[in-house]
Structure 1
Amino acid sequence: MLTRILSSLDDDKAEDIVTIDLRGRSAMADHMVIASGRNARQVASIAEHLVDRLKQDTGRSARIEGKDTGDWVLIDTDDVIVHVFRPEVREFYQLEKMWMPADALGSLRADAAREASAAAMPQ
């Protein structure tokens, strides 16, 4: 299921995809995936396509919340919880901080700082 979800997000050009292993930490799911879309329309589209693909591939219906506004869409597949955000909303809620182990979060921040530094360098 996780592989299908990540593939769908990648196909729809979701950005900053983070996977968090919840096994042994939460009974609600095995994994949490957090991703961003560039705007509300893309967030809603990413979520809708994901739900459609999962239904087609597995025959299972995922529950979806928030698609109408497109700020933060939650998709519950039972095994994997997927959050798709507009970047500003994702920054505000900072789910990664709540769920990621401290060592993984530090590595994620270092990667983001390197990317930002590389993007700021003149070509």
Structure 2
Amino acid sequence: MKEDDVLSLIQIATAGTVAEGPGSALTAPDRSLTSEELLQLILKSLDDDQAVDVVQIDLRGKTQMADYMVICSGRSSRQVGAICEKLVDRLKRDHAHSSKIEGKDGGDWVLIDTGDVIVHVFRPEVRDFYQLEKMWSTPEQTASRL
């Protein structure tokens, strides 16, 4: 990369907008999202993409790995993949928030690590097999899902 290119990227980043391909732009965040704001953005994205049986689990005080865990299902491997791609893309595009994603190629169980919120998207059969929410939920949260 040329020195001029690096300087241009620095100028663009400090101006508040980073170009990412023709006709699109990422807006640099004014501030970091709180875990609660991030959770609400994730829940809205999952709702927009018709994720089913969405459960949110408050992990504060249980572990230091994240503040919240969200577990949901897609109706098929294809929908699981689409839900995950759109969520990661929205967070990156709208809030310059990067996420790590694992398992997208299989489409059975995809984990998205957004930092303060861990998202698991399953096919229903796989979710029923692992019963992940039972490990982390309080009895009231588990009962509300049944």
Structure 1 consecutive aligned stretches of length 4 or more whose deviation exceeds 4 Å: none
Mark the structure with the bigger radius of gyration.
2
| Inter-partner Cα distance in structure 2 for 1:104 and 1:13 | 21
Query: For residue 100 of structure 1, what is the aligned residue in structure 2?
Result: 137
The residue type equivalent to 2:98 in the other structure is S
**Matches of 1:106 and 1:15, distance apart in 2:** 17
1:84-122 deviations in Å (ceiling 9; x for gaps): 00000000000111000123212332xxxxxxxxxxxxx
What is the percent sequence identity of the aligned residues? 66
1:56, distance to aligned residue in structure 2 (A): 1.0
Which of 26, 32, 40 aligns to 2:77? It is 40
The answer as to 2:128 corresponding to 1:91 is: yes
Q: Which has the higher helix share?
A: 1
How well do the aligned residues superpose, as a CA RMSD in angstroms?
A: 0.8
Scaled by the length of structure 2, the TM-score of the pair is: 0.73
Task: State the TM-score, normalized to the length of structure 1.
Answer: 0.86
Structure 1 runs not aligned, ≥5 long: 110-123
Q: How many pairs are equivalent?
A: 109
Pair 1:59 & 2:93 matched: no
- 1:31 is displaced (CA, Å) by 0.2
Amino acid of the residue matched to residue 110 of structure 2? V
Q: CA deviation at 1:30?
A: 0.3
Q: Any unmatched runs of 5+ in structure 2? A: 1-37
